[in-house]
Amino acid sequence: MTEPVKPETPERAEPGETSAPRLFDEAFLRRLDRLRLVTRRAQPGQLQGERRSPKRGHSVEFVDYRPYVPGDDFRQIDWHVYARLERFFVKLFAEEEDITVHLLVDASRSMAWGTPPKMEMARKLAGALGYIALNGLDRVTALTFGEQAFTLPPRRGRWSALALFSLLERATPDGAVDFAATMQRYAQTARRPGPLLLISDLLAPDWAEGLRALVARRFEVTVLHVLAPEELDPSLRGDLRLRDSERDEIVEVTLDEQTVARYRQAVEGWREEIQRWCAARDVRYVFVPSHVTVEEAIFSLLVRQGIVR
């Protein structure tokens, strides 16, 4: 069941003042002010913003001509073109609007694994990217999905970052998730598809089915794949009883060097499979180790991959 977040309405203070939440310090927020979220498709918006829209408006950036039709504004006719061709053409200009940025954050029990926990990186990635989008005059909506799901309806303006941070701080990794069903439900109910950033460890057998539902709905999907160092190269050895964090099943295994080597190969093959699947469907994929700092994740990994600039 999805429970909407109802935080207290904050005053319109600038994030980065004394009201800054615990998620980030003020110096980090000031660094984020210099970044913008990169989108690859023109998206129609509702209000004036800083994004190129597929509509044509009356900004200062000229983009094209089209033949005049009755009812067009005479002031948009290019008389220099008429003098050459003796035909009326109106000038078209780029119109910049806001878009809706969708943040989906996995809060299932497996996100509690790792040192530090993967959920800590997921929270900070979502908070930073949401703040960047809000600072760029885009709308932001968010969903955390786990044992409980919390939603943030579309918000606009930098002061809305406080509500987003509150949502992320509430999310506690717990329970199993039907990943495909969650993605399908979101795709069906979202009103305005746009850039969508999914932050997850993708430890679900139906990950491809879930991503396929988002792609089919025409979201511009970016997968931020968060894994812990212990999942990539486990230090465990010997006879062990391991518990599946999602299904709560117990498996008895014997881990020696050969078994761990095969495990590493399997994990790397799985990651490569996800990356190939995404590349074939124009989905951006970024692997984010959970132990790096959020500064390194944002200003190195995501800048290098063209997610922000």
Which residues neighbour 287 within 8 Å (Cβ) at sequence distance 6 or greater? 225, 227, 271, 275
Q: Closest Cα partner for 2 from 105, 103, 106, 144? A: 144
pTM of this structure = 0.77
- Classify residue 149: in a domain, yes or no: yes
| 83/138 same-domain check | no
What pLDDT shows up at residue 86? 85
- Classify residue 57: in a domain, yes or no: yes
**Could you give the 3-state DSSP secondary structure of residue 221?**
strand
| 299/158 same-domain check | yes
What pLDDT shows up at residue 40? 80
pLDDT for 97-127, tens place per residue?
678 999 999 999 999 999 999 999 999 999 9
| 112/216 same-domain check | yes
| 227/291 same-domain check | yes
| 201/273 same-domain check | yes
| 204/270 same-domain check | yes
| 115/167 same-domain check | yes
- Classify residue 28: in a domain, yes or no: yes
C-alpha–C-alpha distance, residues 108 and 146, integer Å: 4
Count of CB atoms within 10 A of residue 34's CB?
Answer: 11
What pLDDT shows up at residue 62? 64
- Classify residue 292: in a domain, yes or no: yes
Domain boundary among 66, 82, 97: 97
| 129/214 same-domain check | yes
Q: Closest Cα partner for 245 from 126, 40, 107, 148? A: 107
| 187/235 same-domain check | yes
- Classify residue 243: in a domain, yes or no: yes
| 62/85 same-domain check | yes
| 245/185 same-domain check | yes
What pLDDT shows up at residue 95? 54
Domain boundary among 78, 97, 116: 97
H helices of the chain, in order, are 26-32, 79-85, 118-135, 161-170, 179-189, 207-216, 229-232, 257-280, 294-296, 303-304
Q: Determine phi and psi for 148, rounding to 5 degrees.
A: -120, 150
Q: What is the CATH number of the domain that holds 192?
A: 3.40.50.410
Cβ–Cβ under 8 Å, residues 247 and 236 = no
Q: How far is CA 21 from the centre of its chain?
A: 21
- Classify residue 64: in a domain, yes or no: yes
What pLDDT shows up at residue 259? 87
C-alpha–C-alpha distance, residues 135 and 157, integer Å: 7
- Classify residue 43: in a domain, yes or no: no
- Classify residue 66: in a domain, yes or no: yes
What pLDDT shows up at residue 283? 98
- Number of domains within the chain: 2
| 92/219 same-domain check | no
What pLDDT shows up at residue 43? 52
Domain with 69, as residue range(s), is 48-97
Q: What is the pLDDT along the chain (309 residues), one digit of tens a residue?
A: 444 444 433 334 443 343 445 799 999 999 999 999 998 865 554 444 444 444 444 445 565 677 877 767 777 888 888 888 888 888 766 555 678 999 999 999 999 999 999 999 999 999 999 999 999 889 999 999 999 999 999 998 888 999 999 999 999 999 989 999 999 999 999 988 999 999 999 999 999 999 999 999 999 999 999 999 999 988 877 778 887 766 677 888 888 899 889 999 999 999 999 999 999 999 999 999 999 999 999 999 999 999 999
